[in-house]
Amino acid sequence: MSNKVLVAVFSASGVTKRVGEEIARAAGADFYEILPKEIYTSADLDWRNRKSRSSVEMNDPSARPEIADSALDMAAYDTVFVGFPIWWGVAPRIIDTFLESYDFSGKKIVPFCTSGGSGVGRSDTELHKDVSADVKWEKGRLINRPDAEEIRSWLAKVL
């Protein structure tokens, strides 16, 4: 069986996108950017403001920001890397939206994240609730920069 790989990334500032693009290049994978239907402004991302859009979403576990384009043929992939920045110790709610939008049965999911100050924490295992039980989960990995050598070494272990 060929291992068709997708790297799906949500990136608010561009850091996670750059890491995801390097992972896709190194793995020979397809790249998909998870774009919100309503793009986040810098005011939306102000984590110090409890009324900012991101703060309101992260304080509501049922929040599911809409994705701009959800026309992926997920059946075509065997392995899906899911990349995101750490928000409030976990993945942004739009990652829940993405994972709940597709059938990942029989697939391997490999979470990776970027963070300005925290580690993976419980972010990767929190995502397990959003997909069917018939998924092979790899341990989440914090990768803060698109370091080709570090990424190739990691890919050799997870692919």
Specify the pLDDT at position 1. Answer: 45
Percent of the chain that is helix, strand, coil (3-state, to 5): 30, 20, 50
Q: Which residues pair with 136 in a beta bridge?
A: 108
Q: How confident is the model at residue 157 (pLDDT cuts 50, 70, 90)?
A: very high
Q: Is 69 helix (H, G, I), strand (E, B) or coil?
A: coil
Question: Where exactly are the structural domains of the chain?
Answer: 5-158
Q: What tens digit of pLDDT does each residue of 124-147 get?
A: 788 888 887 799 999 989 999 999
CA–CA gap between residue 137 and residue 14 (Å, rounded)? 25
CA–CA gap between residue 20 and residue 11 (Å, rounded)? 9
Whole-angstrom CA distances from 20 to 16, 33, 46, 47, 97 are 6, 9, 24, 24, 19
Handedness of CA 20, 23, 24, 25 (dihedral sign): positive
Q: What tens digit of pLDDT does each residue of 15-27 get?
A: 999 999 999 999 9
Specify the pLDDT at position 95. Answer: 97
Q: Which residues pair with 87 in a beta bridge?
A: 90
Q: How confident is the model at residue 2 (pLDDT cuts 50, 70, 90)?
A: low
What is the fold, at CATH topology level, of the domain defined by 5-158? Rossmann fold (3.40.50)
Specify the pLDDT at position 69. Answer: 84
Helix, strand counts (H, E) of the chain: 5, 6
- Burial of 156 from C-beta contacts in 10 A (0-12 / 13-18 / 19+): exposed
Instruction: Answer yes or no: is pLDDT of 31 > 80.
Output: yes
Q: What tens digit of pLDDT does each residue of 32-87 get?
A: 999 999 999 999 999 899 999 999 999 999 999 999 987 899 999 999 999 999 99
pTM: 0.94
